[in-house]
Structures are given as C-alpha cells and as structure tokens.
Structure 1
C-alpha cells in the first residue's frame, strides 16, 4: 500500500506507516461495526423500554379511571342518597358521602346536587358551602352536562387548583335516578385527586432511576397535544435530543381518558451513555493494538531495508564516480539477493552499451549537422515563397470583395430599373386615363355652362311674369279704391261691398310686396348665374390649357419609359457580365487559397523537420554527454 503523502519517506518508514495504517483501518472497521450493531441493539432496547413504560402507565390510568367511574355509578344508586333527594333528608346522605371520601383517599370530595344544580349534600360542610349559590355555574359545567347525558367527560379537568377542592381534580359526575320511575332527580359529583397520578408513576420512575436514567419522564396528553400530566419538574431544563415512545388509550375499555396519549421520554445522551463508554474502551484498545502493530512493522521493515540500502549505496557510487566496474556484494538468498545478482548483470550490459553509444553518438552528431544546414536552407526558400503567395491571396481576396460588391450593386441597379420600367408603364396608363377623364370633364363643363345660360333666360322670363303680376295688383288696388268710394256713397247698402273692396285692396298690396321680393330674388339669381357663367368659361379655358400640358407630359413620359427600357436592358447585360466575372474571380481565389494551404502544410513539414533535427541534435548531445559520463 502506497500512501499519497509518503513519497518523501524512506522504505523502512513507508512500510511501518503502511502496516500501521492498515492495522488502524482494520481495527477501526471492526470497532465501527461493533459499535453500530451495539447502537442498533441498544436503540431497540431503549424504545422497547419506553414503549413498555408508556403502555404500563396507560393501563394503570385506564384501569383507575374505569374503576372510579364504576364506583361513582354505583354510589349514585345508593338508596340513602336517592332518599335524601326524594324526601329532602340530608343528614344520612352527608354521613354516607363522608364515609366514601374516607374509604377512598383518591377522591378529594363528593357533592350531591339536585336537578336544578343546587348542592344539597357533601362529604364536608366546607365543601357544601363552597357550592352554595352557584346553581347556574354548576349547570353550565361540562361534567354536569355530561352527567345529564349519562356519560363522563375529561373536559372539566382543571389546569390549576380547583377553588372548591383546593387541588387539581378530575370531576366524575353520575346521574341519580328515582328507583321507582327512573326519572332523574339529581347528580353525584366525585372529584378524583389528579395528583394521585404522580403516585401511579412512582414505580416507573424508580425503575428509571435504577437504570441511571434521571432524565426519564412520563406525560399524559390530550389528542390536541395539551399536557395533562408531566412527571418532570416545571423548572427542569428541556431535553436537547429527546427519545420518546407513546401509547394511545383506545376504546376497548370505555373511560374518560379515551384518546389520551401516554408518552415516555428520555434524553438521548443519557440513553446512549453505555455506548459512549464502550467507544472510550474501544479507543484505548485501538491505541494499544496500533502500538504493537507499529513495533512489529518496524522490525520487519528493518530486515527488508538493510540489503536494499547496500544496493542503493552501489548505485550512488556508479552515479557519482561513473565507474561501471563496481561490484555489489549482498549475501542473501531471498528476492533482494536475486535483485543484487540481476543488478550486477545489468552493470555488465551497461558497460558494453556505453562503448557502442559513444561510437554511435559521434556518427549521429555529424549527420544531424548536415541535416540542419539543409533544413535551414529549405526553410528560407519556402519562407520567401509563402510571403509571395500570401500577398497574392490578399490581393485576390480584395478583388473578390470588389467583385461581390459590384455584383450586389448591379443587382440593385437592375431592381431599380425594373421598378422604374414598371412605374413608367403604370404612369403612362394613369396619364392616359387622366387625359380621358379631363376630356369628359371638359365636355361636362361645357354642357353645364349651356344649362346655366338657359337658366338665366328662364329667370328673365320669370321676372317679366312677376312684372305683369305687379301691374295686375296695381290695377286691382285702383279698382278696390274706387269700389270703396262707391260703397261709401251707397250708405248702408254698400257696407258689404265696402268690406269686399278692403279685402281685395289688402290682397293687392300683398301681391305688390310679394312681386317686389320675387324681383329682388330674381335679380340676385341673375347676378349669380352671370358670375357662374364667367367662372365656368374661365375654368373651361384653364382646363383646356391643363389638358394640353398633360398631353405634353404624356409624350415626355413615353419617351422616359423608352429610355428606362433601354437602361434596363443595359443593366441586365452588366449584371450578367458581373456574375461571370465574379465566378472567374472566385475560381482564382479558390486556387490561390488551395496553394496557400499547400504552402502552409509544406512550411509545417519543414518546421517539423527542423524541430526533429533539433531534437536529434539534443539527443545526440545527451547521448554524447551520457557516453562521457561512464567509463568502461
């Protein structure tokens, strides 16, 4: 076995260290396995003991509670207690309750209540007084409600001392029924002294003390985890690493403690203290065995290392003096003696090899010198060729980039010319459509002007008609005036005619006013029509001029389209030529790149040859140096 950090030690120390480490590993492995097995066994025993203690506490408490519940039920059927409730004679019931309290020390007191929750009898007068006037409070307690339902409950177990009993008690209440009708007539309360549980666990605590387990404790908990009893003192420090086992009170025996958890707890350090003592003893035995192993290993290493030291001295003499004629004398028939004999034969062969090596090194030195000169000359020539090819490759790369740029530009020009050609065709078509639309618009404007002129003539005719209406209105007005004068002359007979004359005159006045307004409107319409006609004529003239200009632009656009077509054809020819040129330049660049790669490979071969020559020169120098080191 070779340790990672023992390379600088002598053989004797290495053998001693290896044997010591192997012995320590073996002893540690056996000790670790033994301690592991012991720990598992001890752990099983500890858990089994804790489980047994928890089960024992559970059985004891379950039996005690079941007995107390049965006792309370039997007491509630006492004839004297029933008679006291039926006939209100409580002298004898007080004596009965006092006697029951004396004969059962675990009962702190008994109280008899009527159906309304009034305390009527007790085992002591002080206890009876403590419940007087508390009827409503009694009826609201959990034990009283449970008694009325025919069951017992542990919900009334006080966390602190009960004010009436002066200690922590578990109230057990049973319903008292009439012996004749079976109707409920009262409730009997028996307060179980909860401190009696500490007397129950005394035996278990004594057993734990005999096992030197002072941290052992027993607990009683509800299903929700609240602690009902703990044998550990309240001021005791909490356990750092507790080991615990619990037993659950089942429903096979019905009592108020159904569902309670009985927990046995022990500190892990104290539980596994025997294991720690065993580990201490094992550590002492390990030290003793290790000391014996080191002593035996040192004696064995001394016998092995002595002849090897003699061989080492002989080798040192050969290395320092260079004398291959030195002989090694080792009087041993074991493997070390065989090694010394083989070393002597190796020295003889080495002496012969040294002579041949000296002759070969001189020949190799001369050949290497000639090869070095040839490699240097070839490397200088190839360096000049590589520089020229590299310059050519750079130039070809620049030409290739320029060609690619020209190709891209020609493609862009070709796309632009094609787009311009398409735009020219679209513009020519659009221009033709615009000319046709303008011509139609010109014709429509002419027809509109004719229509407006006709409208003006019609307006004049309406004005003449309105003038005629006005004249008629004037005449009607004169006739109405004359009629009015004649009606006045006629007196009473002409009054109706005078009324008609006034109405006709009023109508004539209205007609005159209306014709005046119509004439004013017709004058305005006439002026507007004349302005519209003037504007229409001007617009028609301007549209005629614009149409002429658009036709001229159309001719220019047609000429531009033909020019774009010619440029597009030229751009296509240029693009084809540039593509052909780019392909040729790519072939040239590929050929130059291949030539450069071949030149690089050749240079690498020459450099490898140079390195090999240098290596051979160094090897020849080392061979010559080695050959000069030894003398045959």
Structure 2
C-alpha cells in the first residue's frame, strides 16, 4: 500500500493497519528467515550427500580400473603367453586365456595379437576368428597403439565395439620378452563397461531408501562426453538439476584420469519436504495475519469511538459557532482526559468571545475618533504645504539670479587675472630686453676695443713686411755680387754661381710675396677702419634705443600697478558675490529640507490614515468573529 493511499485512511483504518503490521511483520520476517535457513541447510545436505555419492563412485570405479589394469599387465607377463608368441604354438595360451575369462567374468574376452596386429590366441576360438582379416584395423586402433607405447587408453569407450557387440573398455598391455625386453605382441582384455551398473547399484539402493527416486549417477570424460548413465534409456533431463561431481585425479595413474563422476537429482523431489513446509508456514502466517487484523480492528474501534463523538462536537462548533453545547465524558483514559481538556477549552473560548465582543465596541468608537482627528490634521498640513511650496518657488528664483551674478563675477575675475598676468609678463619681458640691450652694448664696446687692437697689429705687420722686403732686396744684391764673383772665378766658381742664382730667385719671390702681403694689409686696414666707423654709429643708436626702453619700462610698471589695483577690487567683488550665493543656497536648502519634512509629515499622516482604516477593518472583523459564536 503506497503512502498517499495510507494518508487517505481514517484513524481507525490506520490504527488497524499499523497494529497488524507491528504484530505480523516480525512473524513474517522470522518465518521468511527460518524458511530460507531451512532451505539452505537442506541444499547443503543434498549437495553434501551428492558429493559423497560422486566421490564414492569415483573411488569404486578408480579402484576397479586400477585392479583391472594390474591384472592385465600381470597376464601379459605370463610365461605361457610369452612362450606362445616365441614358438608360434598357441594351445597353451588359449587354455590360459580361457581360464582367465572364466575366473574374471567382468571381462567379455581376451585376445593375443602379434606385432603385426594378427590375432593368434583368444579366450574362445570364435573370438579369435572374429579378428581374422582385420590386422590393419587392429594396428590402427587407439588401444593397440597405446599398448605399444606402454599405457592404456579409453578413446574407444564412447562407442559400441563391433566385435564384442557391446560397449567395452579395451585394456591392452604389451607382451615383452623376459630377458631382452623386446616387444613380442599385445594382450587385449575387453572389460564389460556395463559392469559399472553393478558398482553403482548400492548407491542407487541407498537413494531409493531415502525416497529419492530421481537419484542418478553419470560418468563423463574430461571433455564432457557421457560414458555411463545409471538411468539408462529412460534418462530424465532437468535444466536446473541438483548435481555434484568428483574428478578422477592423477594421484593414482589409471585409464580414467580426468573422468568426471556426477551425482544428480530432480530439485522438485529433493526439496519437496521444504516446499511442503513452506506452504504450511504460509497458511499459518495468513491465519495469524487475519487474527491480528481482527484484534487490531477491535482495538482501533474502542479507541476511535470517543474521538468520533468529540469530533462531532468540534464540527458543530466550527460550522455553527455554538459554544453552549455540552460534552459527556464516559472514559477515564487518555481520550477522556482529552475530552475534559476540550470542555475546559470551550469554556475559556466562551469567556474570550464575551471579552472580545466588549473590546470590539470600544475599539470601534476609538477608531472613529482617530479618523476625525486625522482628517482635521490632514486639512491643516495641506494648507501649510501649499504656502511652503510657493515660498520654495520664490527661493528657487533668487537662487538662480544669485548663481548668474556669481558666474559673471567669476568671469570678470578671470579677465582681471589674465590682465594682471599679461602686465607682469610685459614688465618682465621689458626688464629682460633692457638687460639684453645693456649686454649687447657691452659686447659692442668690447668689439670696438678688439678692432682697435687689430688695427694696431695690422700696422705692426706692415712694418714687419717692409723689413722683410728690405732683407729680400739686400739678399738680391748679395746674390748678384756672388754671381759676378763666381764668373770671375772660372770653373771653380760654377757651383757657387748656381747657389747664388737660386738665392736670387728666392729673394725675388720674397719681394713679390711681400708686395702681395702689403696689398692685403692695406685692404684689411681699410676694412677695419670701416668697421670701427660702423661700430661707433651702432653704439650711438643703441644708446638712443636704451633710453626709449627705459621710458617704456617705467610706463609698463605704472600700467601693472593699475591692473593690480583693479584685480584686488574685482576679487573683493567676487568674494562678496560668492558669500551671497552661499547664503542664498543655504536658505534654499533649508526650504528644501522643510519641504521634505512636510512631505514626510504628509506620508506619515497618510500612513496613520491607512493604519486607522486597517484598525477599522480589524475592528469590523473582530466584531464579526465575536458575533459568530453564541454565548
């Protein structure tokens, strides 16, 4: 049952359900755990029993195979059998094989073969004759090849042997020469595989005594091929059969190493007792559930009847508002205590309703008086707000006019400041110009002095040039005299004449260079004199310009003083206008604050009106609530 469906049940149904669950749930859980535990124990017992039967079958078959293999090997070592193969006389070997078959009835026949696969001796002549002409088939048989290699094989056990006409286990052992160890032939002992049924008969009888008719035993190869089934042709096949198996291990070497011995049963038959027990338990649990549900219903009915009566009284109070009705209490349990508490609550509610009705009348009258006072106060504040709004508009206009005056005073102040800066800049520039002119005058005076000194040095160079010219003339004369003396000297004076000629040439060049230097000095002197004249004229003009600059400087200083005085006056005017603007702004802010306060007062008054209206509504509602009960 889902939780929403449980929520739709009444108290009686929920109590019945909960009590039933509390009573039955532990029983169901314990029964379920016990049934599962019992089934698990039964499964463990069945599996253990099947495992024991499989192990027993494995041990029996393994012991039987080991015994048969040992017997076959001992028969292959018989001296008469060896002698028969050596001499080719087989009367004695036929007698030996016939006697062995009579003693060991589990073998269907014994045959002696040569190395070429020819049957030469057998337990019966008919058996020997049945192998005539099959030498090649014998040589290719798996059991024959295994015997030549010295071991046994069960490869041919999965099919019926055509010679013996049944399923046999070919146990073949080599016949060896006693001294040389040479292989003489192969002895075959055909073990009747149907004898396994005799081996498992005891296990099947034990299962029948336990009423387990479906018990069966199987023998399979390692690959799963079926070798033996105790059920025979009427084998039943159950997909979920209960089975246990044992594997023939290599601990004891035999032909059945790796075989799987399986014991199995039908689960319906094995677990029939458990299923019957489970069915009986289920019936008992259902009976307990029915009894627990009936007891829970009676218990819930006894609990919910007083609550139902109390519910009817409560519903009448809610629907009709009748607080005059009485409730009878008949029980002394928790439900009776709840009913007494409810009666007391109704009495208290009656007294509360009477007090509420009296209070609502007083509250209604008080709200009416508050409404009249609020309306009168709203009318007065409305008139004050209109006058304040007109005053605020006037203050706004004054503030705008003051702001315009302040802006214009600021503009004049900026212009005066610019004029003051220009005056200061002009005076500074004039002062710098006068300093530059004075510096230029000093440089011109110094240049005049330098030109004078240059003229003097040029005159000195002219004197030096005249001296050099005189020396050149004298050298020329001396060279001429030397040339004359050289001519007089004849051959001895030719070298001296050449030297005198060169000296004369140099003297002539010096005279020409001196003349050129003199011309250049004359030109330089004239240029210097012209420069001196121009310097003197520039100096005179510079003196005149310097005088005019001094006059302009004095005028500029006077103008700067006037601008400074105007600047101070404008600054005072601007400060006065700024102070006036600040005062007007404070007046406007005060008007704005006053307007804000008036607005807040209006909002508060409106809130008071809303509260009064809400109180009126609450009073009305309280009056309606108080009137909804009869006291």
Whether these two folds match at TM > 0.5 is yes
Confirm whether residue 241 of structure 1 aligns to residue 240 of structure 2: yes
CA change 1:209–1:177 in 2 (3 A) is same
CA change 1:613–1:233 in 2 (3 A) is farther
For residues 572-591 of structure 1, the aligned pairs below 5 Å read none
CA change 1:315–1:114 in 2 (3 A) is same
State the Cα deviation string for residues 558-613 of structure 1 (Å, max 9, x = none). Answer: xxxxxxxxxxxxxxxxxxxxxxxxxxxxxxxxxxxxxxxxxxxxxxxxxxxxx999
CA change 1:124–1:280 in 2 (3 A) is same
Return the alpha-carbon distance in structure 2 between the equivalents of residues 356 and 97 of structure 1: 131
Return the alpha-carbon distance in structure 2 between the equivalents of residues 613 and 266 of structure 1: 95
* 1:253 corresponding residue in structure 2: 252
* 1:301 corresponding residue in structure 2: 300
Larger radius of gyration: 2
State TM-score, norm by structure 1. Answer: 0.57
State the Cα deviation string for residues 502-532 of structure 1 (Å, max 9, x = none). Answer: xxxxxxxxxxxxxxxxxxxxxxxxxxxxxxx
* 2:40 corresponding residue in structure 1: 40
Return the alpha-carbon distance in structure 2 between the equivalents of residues 317 and 21 of structure 1: 35
Q: Is the 8 A contact 1:310 1:330 kept in 2?
A: no
* 1:29 corresponding residue in structure 2: 29
* 1:319 corresponding residue in structure 2: 318
Return the alpha-carbon distance in structure 2 between the equivalents of residues 140 and 317 of structure 1: 109
Return the alpha-carbon distance in structure 1 between the equivalents of residues 284 and 178 of structure 2: 80
Unaligned runs of 5+ in 1: 375-610
State TM-score, norm by structure 2. Answer: 0.57
2:263 is paired with a residue of what secondary structure? strand
Return the alpha-carbon distance in structure 1 between the equivalents of residues 613 and 133 of structure 2: 122
Return the alpha-carbon distance in structure 2 between the equivalents of residues 289 and 83 of structure 1: 88
* 1:149 corresponding residue in structure 2: 149
State the Cα deviation string for residues 436-469 of structure 1 (Å, max 9, x = none). Answer: xxxxxxxxxxxxxxxxxxxxxxxxxxxxxxxxxx
* 2:280 corresponding residue in structure 1: 281
Per-residue deviation at 1:72? Answer: 0.5
2:5 is paired with a residue of what secondary structure? coil
For residues 471-550 of structure 1, the aligned pairs below 5 Å read none
CA change 1:2–1:257 in 2 (3 A) is closer
Per-residue deviation at 1:175? Answer: 1.1
Return the alpha-carbon distance in structure 1 between the equivalents of residues 328 and 2 of structure 2: 29
CA change 1:84–1:214 in 2 (3 A) is same
Per-residue deviation at 1:4? Answer: 4.9
Confirm whether residue 197 of structure 1 aligns to residue 200 of structure 2: no
Per-residue deviation at 1:54? Answer: 1.1
For residues 43-58 of structure 1, the aligned pairs below 5 Å read 43-58=43-58
1:156 is paired with a residue of what secondary structure? helix
CA change 1:184–1:619 in 2 (3 A) is farther
* 1:137 corresponding residue in structure 2: 137
Return the alpha-carbon distance in structure 1 between the equivalents of residues 218 and 364 of structure 2: 97
Confirm whether residue 219 of structure 1 aligns to residue 221 of structure 2: no
CA change 1:366–1:20 in 2 (3 A) is farther
State the Cα deviation string for residues 285-326 of structure 1 (Å, max 9, x = none). Answer: 112222332333233233323322332232234334422122
Q: Is the 8 A contact 2:249 2:258 kept in 1?
A: yes
Higher mean displacement: 118-127 or 56-65: 118-127
* 1:542 corresponding residue in structure 2: none
* 2:95 corresponding residue in structure 1: 95
* 1:171 corresponding residue in structure 2: 170
* 2:67 corresponding residue in structure 1: 67
Return the alpha-carbon distance in structure 1 between the equivalents of residues 355 and 612 of structure 2: 22
Per-residue deviation at 1:161? Answer: 1.6
How large is the Cα RMSD of the aligned pairs?
3.5
Per-residue deviation at 1:271? Answer: 2.9
Return the alpha-carbon distance in structure 1 between the equivalents of residues 365 and 196 of structure 2: 107
Unaligned runs of 5+ in 2: 376-609
Q: Is the 8 A contact 2:119 2:132 kept in 1?
A: yes
* 2:407 corresponding residue in structure 1: none
Confirm whether residue 115 of structure 1 aligns to residue 118 of structure 2: no
CA change 1:322–1:186 in 2 (3 A) is same
Return the alpha-carbon distance in structure 1 between the equivalents of residues 268 and 615 of structure 2: 74
Per-residue deviation at 1:236? Answer: 4.0
Return the alpha-carbon distance in structure 2 between the equivalents of residues 288 and 103 of structure 1: 69
Per-residue deviation at 1:38? Answer: 1.1
Q: Is the 8 A contact 2:215 2:265 kept in 1?
A: yes
Return the alpha-carbon distance in structure 1 between the equivalents of residues 278 and 107 of structure 2: 51
Return the alpha-carbon distance in structure 2 between the equivalents of residues 619 and 100 of structure 1: 126
* 2:562 corresponding residue in structure 1: none
